[in-house]
Structure formats: structure tokens, C-alpha cells
């Protein structure tokens, strides 16, 4: 089993041996997570299986759409994500732990930096990819400005500077989602693997 992300001590790198867990422990953890966050399913596992080459491009298109929706965001009961989260920060800043806000923003910045590397390494440059990269970089710059404007404690309404930065970040996240949704090409490494498979 693999988990994305980097900062945890028990994470493994791609191609390393995965962490082995008893099946019942894994199922209990997944069930507890979904119940805590009010998700509409009991289990949510992704199983990777070999696919026919002619289906790979369609599969990647659905992945781009999924990623785009994570940035655009939404509100599903107890879960608010994507641009909706950033947009609400000024409203609820007095009720939030500033350390939690910083940690969440740092995590977003880290994930965006990995996304920048992905687009720079896996795609030929074109207008859409250039716009996507520019938007991610501008988003990260805006997220950093939000972090810099946070104080140890907010006892009243968020300052105008913070409100403007959050509005800008939310708009950039929506814009980024739309860019990613329009991508059609598959990553270079996947394309090379497909060509190898087709030539076998």
C-alpha cells in the first residue's frame, strides 16, 4: 500500500517496498475515516490493474477531471475542500487554530510544488501547460502571502489584506482547475510505457 505525500516519517518512496498492514486493520482504518468525515461510502480503495493501451488516454482524461475538481472544490456535508476552503478562511479565522491553518497551507504549497515538477517534466510546452504552470506558481505565491499575514491570534475580523489574498487564492484555484480539466495529453513517461507495450 502506498500513500501520497512526503512529510510523514512512515512514508515510502515510489518503487520502494510498500508498508505492509494486516487486512483487517486497513479496513477498520478506512471505515473509521469515512464515518468520521461523513462520506457516502463505507470503503474507498483504489485498485490499479493493467489496462489496454487504447483505454489509457481516456483514463488519464478522467484523472485530470478529478484533479481539477479538487482545486475547484465543493461542499459535501462535513467536508469543504478546494477553493471553497480558502474562500471561507476570513469568515472563520477567529475560530481556527492558526497553527492548523499554517500547516494546511504549507501542505497545499508542497503539493503544488510537486504538481509543478510533474507538469514541467511530463509535458511538452504549449500554451495550456504554460498557463497551468503560471497559475500554480501564482497560487503558491498567494498562499505564502496568506501565511505571512497570519497572526498568533485573531480576535476580530480578518484584516483586508488577508481577505483579499484569500479571495485571490480561491479564484486562482478555480482557474487552475479549469486549466487542468482541459488537458488532453498523457504524461511522457506513460506514453513511453505505452509505446514499449505496443512494440512488444
Q: Indicate the domain borders of the chain.
A: 1-48, 65-199
Q: In the prediction, which pLDDT does 6 show?
A: 46
C-alpha cell at 164: 483579499
75's torsion region: left (phi>0), alpha (psi -120 to 50) or beta? beta
Q: In the prediction, which pLDDT does 117 show?
A: 93
Q: In the prediction, which pLDDT does 183 show?
A: 93
Instruction: Determine the Cα–Cα distance for residues 71 and 65; give it in Å rounded to an integer.
Output: 10
Q: In the prediction, which pLDDT does 12 show?
A: 55
Q: Is the dihedral of CA 50, 51, 56, 59 positive or negative?
A: negative
In tens digits, what is the pLDDT along the chain, a chain of 200 residues?
444 444 455 555 656 777 777 888 888 888 888 888 777 788 776 776 666 666 777 788 888 999 999 999 988 777 788 898 888 887 777 777 788 888 888 999 999 999 999 999 999 999 999 999 999 999 999 999 999 888 776 656 667 888 889 999 999 999 999 999 999 888 887 767 656 655 55
Amino acid at each position: 500500500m502506498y500513500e501520497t505525500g512526503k512529510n510523514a516519517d512512515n512514508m515510502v518512496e515510489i518503487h520502494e517496498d510498500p508498508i505492509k498492514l494486516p487486512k483487517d486493520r486497513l479496513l477498520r482504518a478506512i471505515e473509521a475515516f469515512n464515518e468520521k468525515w461523513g462520506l457516502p461510502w463505507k470503503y474507498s480503495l483504489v485498485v490499479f490493474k493493467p489496462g489496454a493501451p487504447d483505454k489509457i488516454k481516456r483514463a488519464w482524461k478522467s484523472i485530470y477531471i478529478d484533479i481539477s475538481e479538487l482545486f475547484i472544490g465543493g461542499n459535501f456535508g462535513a467536508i469543504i475542500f478546494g477553493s471553497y476552503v480558502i474562500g471561507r478562511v476570513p469568515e472563520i479565522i477567529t475560530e481556527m487554530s492558526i497553527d492548523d491553518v499554517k500547516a494546511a497551507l504549507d501542505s497545499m504549497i508542497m503539493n503544488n510544488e510537486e504538481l509543478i515538477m510533474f507538469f514541467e517534466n511530463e509535458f511538452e510546452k504549449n500554451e495550456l501547460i504554460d498557463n497551468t504552470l503560471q497559475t500554480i506558481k501564482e497560487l503558491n505565491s498567494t498562499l505564502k502571502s496568506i501565511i505571512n499575514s497570519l497572526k498568533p491570534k485573531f480576535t476580530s475580523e480578518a484584516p483586508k489584506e488577508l481577505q483579499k489574498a484569500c479571495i485571490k487564492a480561491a479564484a486562482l484555484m478555480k482557474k487552475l482547475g479549469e486549466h487542468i480539466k482541459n488537458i488532453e495529453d498523457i504524461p511522457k513517461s506513460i506514453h513511453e510505457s505505452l509505446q514499449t507495450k505496443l512494440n512488444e
